[in-house]
Amino acid sequence: MRTRKVLLVIGFLVTWTYATYYLLLRQTGIHTSRHQSLQAYKLNSQVRDANLQSHHLAKNVFEFVKLKYLEKQPPPVASTPQISIVAAEISAELPEQHVAKAATARIPTKTYLANGEPVFPVVVFACNRVSVKKCIDNLVQYRPSVEQFPIIVSQDCGDEPTKEAILSYGKQVTLIEQPDLSDITVLPKEKKFKGYYKIARHYGWALNTTFAVGFEFVIIVEDDLNVAPDFFEYFLGTHKLLKQDPSLWCVSAWNDNGKAAVVDAAQPELLYRTDFFPGLGWMLTKDLWAELSVKWPKSFWDDWIRHPAQRKDRVCIRPEISRTRTFGKIGVSNGLFFDKYLKHIKLSEDFVQFTKINMSYLLKDNYDNTFLRRVYTYPIVTYDELRRNLIRIEGPVRIQYTTREQYKRTTKMLGLMDDFKSGVPRTAYHGIVSFYYNKRRVHLAPKANWKGYELSWS
């Protein structure tokens, strides 16, 4: 009812403005003296200004009504970043923010080498942490070719000490600066998540800027990541899969369940398909960015990308042993999961020649015909039998789960991450989470007649 009254007031204001303008035009339309004509001209200008002010007033009232309406939407179930999909959708309804034009970026323009191999720009996202030097030092140390792997540091926030740290590398890296440092209007209940809005804006600008050069692939690295010695080799050996298999949409260097106690250190070359988007050092193609950029969210981009509407049953490649490790406990997420999981992730120390390995086993048909078939031939055991080494047979085993509660209880006992994003457990493929425990390969798996992920499990 209050909204209807506001709209009636707006209608009255607009009608009064135009009626006044019409009457004044008629009065000044008669040929008068030169002095009177000048007075009429000034009066017309004043009327036009009043008309413009009325228009702005009406627009502001409309925006007020919109925000009041949005604030009355039912609140998300959780108070943590699990509300991300809802927040991203609501944020799209807020008034558009002012976006400054991007300054011309000094990004290398060579997209292919003379031998026909693609150039892989490594985009490092930075803000206000001078510790970005740890990340850049690592990248520069292990980079096999400056020409094939140009390092582009994209900085948001405008922090001068961080900028100076980046510029200290001279020609070894290229600095581009996110030009829009304006504040972002968010709903009152989203103010504590404003940092996630700025991150999404930064990602959108930097990826648009980089892909605009014409690169086929981009590797994304956050400023709080260390990389393994074979980080670049890993992407060199896997990038063709993204072109060969339409069911793949990213290659990630990260294993969410990559703690030393649950990975096989003797198999650093082992890779998997996963339905879960890992992030934290990952590669995407220009075709995928062309698809995502037109609907890029205003917040929580990583949870948004995991939603079925974006994922579309596509999967990522991830390693047994992580090729990245985060050292950034302090940040927008306030160390979420850091002490319990992230700081324990094992970073691979071996150099695997991925470019010499036949990666065809990771293509969908080959993988499903081997991995999925084998998992369901392994014997079912209990956690207690596994923990106490009561299993008499050698080789891989399977622990079965049927409910969300059973899954979470089992993962907590095993020391695995127990959460879901859009119904998908971390590292899962067809619901199967593979890990290493007590010198044995273990698959935490649903029943063989699994019907798919349930959004309600998140």
User: How big is the chain, counted in residues?
Assistant: 458
* Pairwise CA distance, residues 240 & 147, whole Å: 19
Measured CA to CA in angstroms, residue 115 lies from 110, 146, 259, 408 at distances of 13, 15, 39, 50
In the DSSP assignment, the letter for residue 429 is B
* Pairwise CA distance, residues 165 & 129, whole Å: 9
Query: How many angstroms separate the first and last alpha carbons of the chain?
Result: 37
* Pairwise CA distance, residues 312 & 66, whole Å: 32
Q: Which two tokens stand for residue 157?
A: 């926030």
Q: How many CA atoms lie within 13 A of 216 on its CB side?
A: 14
Output the CA angle 405-409-410, nearest 5 degrees: 120
In DSSP notation, 82-151 reads GGHHHHHHHHTTSPPPP-PPPPPP------B-TTSPBP--EEEEESS-TTHHHHHHHHHHH-S-TTTS-E
The residues annotated with a catalytic role in the active site are: 302
**Residues in CB range of 136: below 8 A, 6 or more apart:** 124, 151, 153, 166, 169, 173
